[in-house]
Amino acid sequence: MTVNRRTPGKRLRSFLRDWSLPRQMRGESHKGAAARSSASEQLRPRLEEADKVGTSICPYCAVGCAQLFYAKEGQLIHVEGDPRSPINQGTLCPKGAATFSLISNPDRLTKVKYRRPHGTEWEEVPLDWAMDRIAHLTKKTRDETFVETLPDGTQVNHTLSVASLGGATLDNEENYLIKKVFSGGLGMVWIENQARV
Amino acid sequence: MAQWDLANADAVLVMGSNMAENHPIAFRFVMQAKEKGAVVMHADPRFTRTSALSDIHAPIRAGSDIAFLGGIIRYILENDLVFKEYAVRYANLATIIDENFIEAARNEGLFSGWNEEKHSYDFDTWQYQGMVIPSALAEHYLDTAESYSEMTKRLHEGPPPDDPTLQHPNCVYQILKRQYADYTPEMVERVTGCPKETFLKVAEALARNSGPDRTAAICYAVGWTHHTTGVQMIRAAAIVQTLLGNIGRPGGGILALRGHTSIQGSTDIPTLYNMLPGYLPQPNAFKPQARHFDQFLDDETIPTGWWHNFPKYITSLLRAWYGDSVGPENEWGYQWLPKIVGDHSQLAMTLAIDDGLIKGMFLLGQNPVIGGSNSKLVERGLGRLDWLVVRDTDEIESANFWRKGHLVQSAERRPEDIGTEIFLMPGELAGEKAGTFTNTHRLIQWHDRVVEGPGDSRSELWFVYHLAKRLKALYANSELERDRPIRNLTLDYRAEGPREEPRADDVLREINGYTWPEKKQVASFKELKADGSTACGCWLYSGVYPEDDDNRARSRIPDGPDGPGTHLGWAFAWPANRRTLYNRASADPDGKPWSERKRLVWWDEAEGKWQSPDEIDFEPEKPPHYRPDWDKKPEGMDALGGDEPFIMMPDGRSQIFSPSGLKDGPLPTHYEPVQSPVRNPLHAQQDSPVAKKWAREDNPLHALGDPRFPHVLTTYRLTEHHSGGTPTRGVPHTAELQPEGFAEIPPELARQIGVRNLDWIVLSTPRGEVETRALVTERLKPFEIDGRHIFQVGMPWHFGWEGYATGDIANVLTAVVGDANSSMHENKALTCDVRAGRIRRSRHRR
């Protein structure tokens, strides 16, 4: 660090020359040169550090605002509205503007929690174990309740005892696979999402 | 209509929506229209920011929308403001209806065909004279004679009977005049509470801003759908817009403002019980014709119009799902599709869980303890399941009800009493997974995978794919016929990386469709075949991935400032990238734009084709003067003339009068909400005769005029929170902006019960009670209805016990009642009591 050897008066005048506010008060535009100072000259955009940028869509309502996601070394560093989008032209509403906080929220779940029947606490379990157990329960309930024909002989090939709820927050591809596997594969009929609520 | 097209409107009516607060970015286009001189109007029970930015705010009692819109229909008819050339040629205004049809207005509020024994309508008298008109596919009704498909075959024989002079007593025009004769401005004021002068301003502005040179738009949201008459509210808007010639034209139309990022996509590719992808019907066990595939095809294929292509779409879907294991020898696997046996919607599901019919459940990004009607009933049901898988980003109320819920807090149950085995699994968000969302104007937009989700969080694609893999392994050795569907289900997606994440683009390629077995992408649904040579997951999305390396959903090329503004290079809109549906209607019957100002599509005689800056929603080379040759019994599109733009309809015309598909009438008529403090001023029938009520001990409804519940209650949303609150109540930025639940009450009511702003109040209904803070505000005006003061109370429904922003759950108050057509609930209009004070509660156990 260089030591300022000038007199206090010189330092004050230098500071006042550098400080942007007096220039702005004199009527110079705060959007132009009058916003500059020696501190601002050294600022660099955070996005410059990003090693990856992707296109995304706001996860809240159905307006479909486009967003840009910036990441550095596998960590999200910034989310902003995509200025190219004819829908939002770079803008976001209070929810959309909180997308970064939503994704980076330290309170998010990161482990599978399991509550055994009549249990009084959550237990942490491995993902693989949970997947095996869920597959087992799905098969068990399906097999115990599957109906091939009604008494009049009509083929129905369904189970009325397994349900799935949700989909409006998910990708089209996910909805497709849910319907395909649960309905077309397993014969579930109770498949619904937020479209009616 | 595309949201940005709102900027081209000359008038915008926002109704059933608080657009400025709940769809603020879309509302920019309304403001752009206003800057260009458009009149902006808001009809709503509450004065909100939308009202503040509008030229006119029409206050109406919650649930009275059909009276208001019916009044507009009458105003248009009585003042001869119909855009006649449009409505006579492009809609069924001149069509002659069965001579035995009787309007609800002349029959105590019931249309002809009411069958008291079945407690439903017979639809025979709603038909066009001498012919049966089927509805769009997924809405085909059950109760028809065996010969239904035979009857619809008459569509081949000639056009529907009509009287273009509009004089025939049973033409739709004359029926409309009779049905809405009583909806005078005075009656509108009496039913809705809106001063008739204000109502007339809205009607006048809509009509004045419609016609060849001008167009008006209507925007709605769940303020219309959340009623037992919600479908008919939207129908009423469609009638207004058709009479005024505002469909398929720039700046005209009806925009549904939907609430979740891919709620449109999850309806198109439905995680819904009654449809298969692309609005194909899920087979119903109670339809005799659904027993075999050939009969199913015969019955469900509409002889005329675009839906004639149905066999291509369903066969390609079955090929996509079951691959080479199906063919003509086993009905293409049709019998493997589970048949529905009734209403399996969320409301019915709520009761089926509580009754123990449903034993296992997946909750995939939904929080029904907050968002479901009659929340305590929902909670009680979840505690009766054998097992429950909850996949979300946070520990939501629907996952931890067993330790923090109402039943435990009120000591009705202890956690030890609840036997449900629960898995709470972390899910991934957009940006952590790749895929597409479909927005509220049908735009399919891709999002990239930029980072990985934290820890064990996975996409739903990963979850369902790996669950299916495990189930396939468990069933691998089964010889049972019933296990063949899961064994044969195709699952040919590449899985990548250490997490073995299935590739969303592979799934999207299948949704788009390809040839079989070569797997060459099809460019559009026009290439799909009914012979098994194509596979397609959702015909409506064909074209989104037309080449193996061409993902149109990821296209990001907007029009420049001087461009046409259709933005065809920005993502992909279904169907076939068309931005304005039925845009043939933007040209007159001869193919010329109705006016230069509203030019979108026109016939180019020299080239022999239609031209437009949009994709044409019509046969590209069918001339405007084409007429079907009825002697040849034309099929499909050959049966529609070159001046019939509504190609999904069997007669190519917009249905002002809807002969099929609706369970509660071919025209809207005003019914009171199921829970209303007011007797229906229009006719003897109080509420919708076919409303789904599910009245039972744990879902009680009170009788009309019950003095215990004198006020109107409406629930609503806030800018800063999202639906069930999971993605906002736990996020510091949004939680800080709206930190706590409240209810809005008018000052007159506050004085009556002795509370001031921010005091505690208790809201109660027959289902339960909640306590919250009073926000005393003049935004909710009391109404004078038949000499009585009616107070309205509003409560946001986002809150719950998790996160930073907490509050009592509004849906504790609501009932499981639904629209007969859609099974949507009525949480926008019910009744309640309000008193000062708090609820005595036992302490949290833990």
B495 at A interface, C-beta within 8 A: no
B437 at A interface, C-beta within 8 A: yes
Residue B544, classified by CB atoms within 10 Å of its CB into exposed (0-12), middle (13-18) or buried (19+), is buried
Which residues 6+ apart lie within 8 Å of A174 measured at CB?
A: A167, B435, B459, B460, B461, B464
Nearest to B489 among A164, A184, A194 (CB): A184
B353 and B229 fall within a common domain:
no
Give how far A52 is from chain B: nearest CA, Å. 7
pLDDT average, residue stretch A57-70: 98
A96 at B interface, C-beta within 8 A: yes
A174 at B interface, C-beta within 8 A: yes
B466, B471, B472, B478: CA torsion to nearest 10: 170
Confidence category of residue A2, pLDDT binned at 50, 70, 90: low
Question: B379 in a domain, yes or no?
Answer: yes
Chain A residue at shortest CA distance from B287: A154
Q: Which domains does chain A have, with CATH numbers?
A: 8-41 (no CATH), 46-104 (2.20.25.90), 112-196 (no CATH)
| Residues within 8 A of A (CB atoms), B 583-642 only | none
- Choose one of B256, B274, B300: the last residue of a domain: B256
Please give the structure tokens belonging to residue B719: 């800018």
Cross-chain residue pair A189–B403, CB shorter than 8 Å: no
Residue A190: pLDDT above 50? yes
B186 and B43 fall within a common domain:
yes
Confidence category of residue B138, pLDDT binned at 50, 70, 90: low
B367 and B228 fall within a common domain:
no
B440 contacts B268 by C-beta, under 8 angstroms:
no
**Cβ pairs bridging A and B (under 8 Å):** 485
pLDDT average, residue stretch B588-613: 98
Residue B247: pLDDT above 60? yes
Q: How far apart are CA B503 and CA B495, in angstroms?
A: 6
* A94-103 confidence digits (pLDDT tens): 999 999 999 9
Q: What average pLDDT is seen over chain B? A: 96
* B703-740 confidence digits (pLDDT tens): 998 999 999 999 999 999 999 999 999 999 999 999 99
B250 and B385 fall within a common domain:
no
Which residues of chain A does B358 touch, with a Cβ-Cβ cutoff of 8 Å? 160-163, 190
* B143-181 confidence digits (pLDDT tens): 554 566 777 888 899 999 999 999 999 999 999 999 999
Chain B residue at shortest CA distance from A139: B471
| Residue B116 CA from chain centroid, whole number | 29
Q: How far apart are CA B272 and CA B266, in angstroms?
A: 8
What per-residue confidence (pLDDT) applies to A1?
A: 47
pLDDT average, residue stretch B317-336: 98
Residue type, B320: A
Cross-chain residue pair A181–B426, CB shorter than 8 Å: no
Q: What is the domain count for chain B?
A: 3
* Local structure of residue A192 (DSSP, 8 states): E
Residue B559, classified by CB atoms within 10 Å of its CB into exposed (0-12), middle (13-18) or buried (19+), is middle
Chain A residue at shortest CA distance from B459: A174
Confidence category of residue A38, pLDDT binned at 50, 70, 90: confident
Question: B826 in a domain, yes or no?
Answer: yes
Q: What is the percent of chain A where pLDDT is above 90?
A: 76
Which residues of chain B does A79 touch, with a Cβ-Cβ cutoff of 8 Å? 431
Please give the structure tokens belonging to residue B242: 């058709």
Q: How far apart are CA B759 and CA B472, in angstroms?
A: 58
Q: What average pLDDT is seen over chain A? A: 94
Which residues of chain A does B485 touch, with a Cβ-Cβ cutoff of 8 Å? 157, 184-187
B545 at A interface, C-beta within 8 A: no
B247 and B369 fall within a common domain:
no
Which residues of chain A does B273 touch, with a Cβ-Cβ cutoff of 8 Å? 189-192
B225 and B350 fall within a common domain:
no
B205 and B76 fall within a common domain:
yes
A156 at B interface, C-beta within 8 A: yes
What per-residue confidence (pLDDT) applies to B140?
A: 57
- For residue B197, what are the domain limits? 3-89+181-256
Which residues of chain B does A76 touch, with a Cβ-Cβ cutoff of 8 Å? 431, 450-451
| Residues within 8 A of B (CB atoms), A 22-41 only | none
Chain A residue at shortest CA distance from B537: A176
- Choose one of B239, B256, B273: the last residue of a domain: B256
- Choose one of B256, B275, B305: the last residue of a domain: B256
B252 and B373 fall within a common domain:
no
Which residues of chain A does B464 touch, with a Cβ-Cβ cutoff of 8 Å? 174, 177-178, 181-182
CATH code, domain with B752? 2.40.40.20
B559 at A interface, C-beta within 8 A: yes
Question: B381 in a domain, yes or no?
Answer: yes
CATH code, domain with B198? 3.40.228.10
Which residues 6+ apart lie within 8 Å of B638 measured at CB?
A: B628
List Cα–Cα distances, B16 to B22, B197, B228, B614, in angstroms.
12, 20, 14, 29
Question: B656 in a domain, yes or no?
Answer: no
Which residues of chain B does A139 touch, with a Cβ-Cβ cutoff of 8 Å? 471, 474-475
B381 at A interface, C-beta within 8 A: no
Nearest to B393 among A108, A177, A190 (CB): A108
| Residues within 8 A of A (CB atoms), B 302-341 only | 321-322, 335-341
What residue has token string 């649930």?
A: B63
Neighbours of B807 (CB within 10 A): 24
Nearest Cα residue to B227 out of B401, B16, B389, B71: B16
Q: Which residue has the higher pLDDT, A30 or B214?
A: B214
Chain B residue at shortest CA distance from A85: B558
Which residues 6+ apart lie within 8 Å of B158 measured at CB?
A: B630
Cross-chain residue pair B482–A163, CB shorter than 8 Å: no
Nearest Cα residue to B447 out of B437, B457, B461: B437
Q: What is the percent of chain B where pLDDT is above 70?
A: 98
Q: How far apart are CA B660 and CA B678, in angstroms?
A: 31
Please give the structure tokens belonging to residue B551: 């993902």
Give how far B447 is from chain A: nearest CA, Å. 4
B539 at A interface, C-beta within 8 A: no
B31 at A interface, C-beta within 8 A: no
Q: How far apart are CA A162 and CA A146, in angstroms?
A: 10
* B479-509 confidence digits (pLDDT tens): 999 999 999 999 999 999 999 999 999 999 9
B480 contacts B488 by C-beta, under 8 angstroms:
no
A167 at B interface, C-beta within 8 A: yes
Nearest to B416 among A62, A118, A192 (CB): A118
What per-residue confidence (pLDDT) applies to A3?
A: 56
B351 and B244 fall within a common domain:
no
What per-residue confidence (pLDDT) applies to A110?
A: 98
B733 contacts B769 by C-beta, under 8 angstroms:
no
pLDDT average, residue stretch B78-105: 98
Give how far B109 is from chain A: nearest CA, Å. 26
Which residues of chain B does A154 touch, with a Cβ-Cβ cutoff of 8 Å? 285, 291, 339
B832 and B733 fall within a common domain:
yes
Nearest to A195 among B263, B353, B475 (CB): B263
Cross-chain residue pair A62–B474, CB shorter than 8 Å: no
What per-residue confidence (pLDDT) applies to A31?
A: 81
Which range has the worst mean pLDDT, B146-155, B305-314, B609-618? B146-155
Nearest Cα residue to B279 out of B236, B254, B312, B310: B310
Question: B130 in a domain, yes or no?
Answer: no
B237 and B361 fall within a common domain:
no
What residue has token string 């209303």?
A: B676
* B739-763 confidence digits (pLDDT tens): 999 999 999 999 999 999 999 999 9
Give how far B180 is from chain A: nearest CA, Å. 29
Question: B207 in a domain, yes or no?
Answer: yes
Nearest to B507 among A75, A88, A177 (CB): A177
pLDDT average, residue stretch B636-650: 97
Question: B22 in a domain, yes or no?
Answer: yes
Question: B694 in a domain, yes or no?
Answer: no
